[in-house]
Each structure stands twice: as structure tokens, then as C-alpha cells.
Amino acid sequence: MEPAPVVEPEMLDRLVTLLSAAARDGGWHQPHRLVFVQSPDGEGFDLGVKELDDGDHPMEHLLGFVAPDEWYALGVVSFGWASPMSHDDSGYRTTIRPSLHPERVRVRSVFLAARDGSEASTTELADGRVLDTPGEGTIADAVRRALALPTKPAEEPLNALMTSMWLEQALIAAEEWWEEARENGGRGARGRRSGPDWSDLASLHPVLARARARGVRTPSSRLDDVGRLFAENIGWADVRWESITGAAPWGIEVEPDLAAWMDEGMYARWLLAEHPSVDALAERLRALVSRDCVRKLDACLEAWGLLARG
């Protein structure tokens, strides 16, 4: 086994600064670039830069990629939009895309990671701000995994994903109920006027749905206990392993090879990014159901440690 290359600790920082400066003259609307560093030693290194086709996203090239052994570092120069977090009148975070936010600003980011675990990054905004914060998000995770580096642990529990999946289905069911009610003089299913029944919404939870598919009937009144039991016994490692083996019992579908390429932290963030937050979904659902449903919903979220998060 060849000895690890001798690299100055400041090399990545200097390279990030140079890459950001080199991209500055091209403006804020440029194709993304992939960057790799090869053969570093006390004298210098080889630098490779690949400009992606206009419209290509770095993840199209990074997802599942394994960097050659001779590459010491890998990174991305990316361009996009940044915006402040937005909250509605109730204080809940909204899901406005940065590119559509009224206070959006163009941004250029450079992120590099090396095989020894060292990293460097910088983000320059069109309003003059410069942020030298650690690389975050799916692109940074993908760079790390391409170098077989670990990503940081999942910040959210698996139950946050399961609850988001459930609330999305419950919202669809509630909206369909009110659509039917509008067509039938204000009465929805079973002649009710106050909104969908809790038992119908609770039955959509992935845990109850899986139990029902196995012939196990679980009362909707037990959903808070069932969800708590699920959270205590099943975690990200369990569902990632199911993806690796090709199973998808919870409706979570990730290609086996991709799930194996990711580690647990990236796997969690990748899936959570596909769904709105529990807070935002719960707030929308509360506006469509009865007070009794709201009470039972909040009881479940509180039992699962997900009430009024963020």
C-alpha cells in the first residue's frame, strides 16, 4: 500500500479561494463544474476541472459515483439561488423555493473534500456576503460518499419521514373529502359535515397499512402507541438495509446499489428532502379536519416527539 500523500493543511482552503475567484468573472449564471485533485505532494498537484453541460445538475454525475483511487480530493463549483427562511402567519416554516422567494439572491458555492477527511468551502452571494461554512446538503454528501467518506449522522428520526409520508396521504384524503362535500351540498362521506373521520385518516399511516396488509387490524385510537413503538424499535439503519436488499415494505423505494453507496446519514437526508416538513403538513391538515381530529393528530405528534418542531 502506497503511503498517504504529503499535503499542506492549507491546500484545500487556497484551492477553494482560487476556484471561486476564477469563476467570478463569468457572472452568476454559469454551468456547474466538477473538480478533482490528483498526485498532490510537497511540490504541487494536478487539477482537473469538468464544466457540465448547461442545465446539468452535479447530482446527475455524483450520485453513485466512486472516485478513482488516485484522486486525492473531489469537489464542486455550483451556482444557484439563496433565500432567507420564510414563515407563515402561524409561525410555521413555508416551503418556498429559493428561486421563487421575493428576497432571493444569486449565489456561488465551492466545496472540496479530501480522502483524509479534510474539507474546505466558501459561498459568495451577489449582495457581497461571503460565508465560509461547512459544506451541507446532498451535493456535499455525494462528494463525501464518492470518496468513501462518512457523512454526518441523520438529524431527524425515521419517524419524521414516516409521519410526513402519512400526513401527505391524509391531506390528499381530506382534500378529496371536501371536494366530494362541495359536490353533494356540503356533505362528505357518510353524510358528515365536519370533515373526514379520524379512523379513515389514521388507517393511512404506513405502520397501520403494513399491519393491515398482514391481516392485523389495529384500532385507529392506538395510532399514538403504535407510532411510539415503531420509533423505539426501527431506525434508519433498518430501512436502509431493506432498501439494499430490494425490499420496500414502507413504500420507501431507493435502488439497492444506491442505498448501499449512501451511508445512513445521507440516506436519511436524501429521503427527508423529498417531503415537506411535519410542521407544514400538519398545519395544512388541521385546517381541513374537525376539532376532534386535530386533538387526536396533536396527541400522536406529541407522543412521537414531533409536535411543533422547528
Q: Give per-residue pLDDT as tens, 131-167.
A: 887 788 899 999 999 999 999 999 999 999 999 999 9
Predicted pLDDT at 1: 46
Count of all residues that appear for the chain in the document: 310
The Cα 288–Cα 179 span in angstroms is: 11
Predicted pLDDT at 249: 73
Burial of 2 (0-12, 13-18, 19+ CB in 10 A): exposed
Task: Give backbone dihedrals phi and psi of 187, rounded to 5 degrees, phi first.
Answer: -110, 130
Predicted pLDDT at 213: 81
Predicted pLDDT at 310: 41
Mean pLDDT per block of 10 residues along the chain (310 residues) reads 57 91 90 91 83 93 95 94 57 52 82 94 90 85 97 94 96 90 66 76 91 84 92 94 89 93 97 92 93 94 82
The Cα 142–Cα 148 span in angstroms is: 10
Q: Which residues pair with 114 in a beta bridge?
A: 73
Place of cell 431493506: 242
Task: Check: CB of residue 210 under 8 Å from CB of residue 250.
Answer: yes
Encode 117-153: b = buried (16+ Cβ within 10 Å), e = exposed. eebbbbbbbeeeeeeeeebeebbbbbbbbbbebebee
Residue type, 138: T
H-run or E-run covering 250: none
Task: Check: CB of residue 75 under 8 Å from CB of residue 67.
Answer: no
Residue type, 111: F
Place of cell 425515521: 158
Predicted pLDDT at 70: 92
